[in-house]
């Protein structure tokens, strides 16, 4: 369905108005009024579904929540495994109408050498590596 067809269907369904008559009839509707009517369409209308590709706020929040929980799991995995152990690939839930972001390379975990630990009196010293 094209945008014109979905707007026409929604104007007929929600406002009992024929789009052709509203635009080119004896008493045409102004662009401002048409804009107000289209913006006031409910989220379940065909026009709103077409504009969001059927992806609503609930779906977006659920996908974001899943990705954040996965991120926390990955941090836990990295904190409780041997150094330089590669965690599983992150979960990225594709959103309709948007391309997937490029994967972000993970930064290798850096630890202090035994000499650095002894020099600090047994305390852990974090030495940041070069920024790439």
pTM of this structure: 0.47
If we measure between CA atoms, which residue out of 16, 20, 15, 17 comes closest to residue 4? 20
Instruction: Give me the pLDDT at residue 98, please.
Output: 73
Q: Locate the domains of the chain by residue range.
A: 3-52, 57-96+107-119
Instruction: Give me the pLDDT at residue 100, please.
Output: 64
Contact assessment for residue 3 and residue 50, using Cβ atoms and an 8 Å cutoff? yes
Instruction: Give me the pLDDT at residue 101, please.
Output: 63
Tokens of 93: 């839930």
Contact assessment for residue 19 and residue 8, using Cβ atoms and an 8 Å cutoff? yes
Q: Residue-wise over 34-48: b if at least 16 C-beta within 10 A, else e?
A: beebbeebeeebbbb
Pairwise pLDDT comparison (131 vs 120), residue with the higher score: 120
């Amino acid at each position: 369905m094209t945008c014109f067809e979905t707007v026409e269907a929604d104007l007929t369904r929600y406002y009992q108005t024929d789009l052709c008559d509203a635009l080119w009839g004896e008493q045409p509707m102004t662009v401002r009024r048409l804009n107000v009517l289209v913006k006031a369409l409910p989220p379940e209308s065909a026009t709103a579904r077409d504009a969001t590709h059927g992806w609503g706020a609930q779906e977006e929040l659920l996908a974001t929540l899943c990705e954040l929980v996965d991120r926390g799991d990955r941090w836990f995995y990295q904190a409780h495994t041997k150094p330089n152990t590669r965690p599983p690939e992150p979960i990225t839930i594709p959103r309709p109408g948007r391309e997937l972001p490029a994967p972000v390379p993970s930064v290798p975990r850096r630890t202090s050498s035994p000499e650095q630990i002894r020099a600090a009196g047994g305390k852990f010293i974090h030495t940041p590596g070069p920024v790439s």
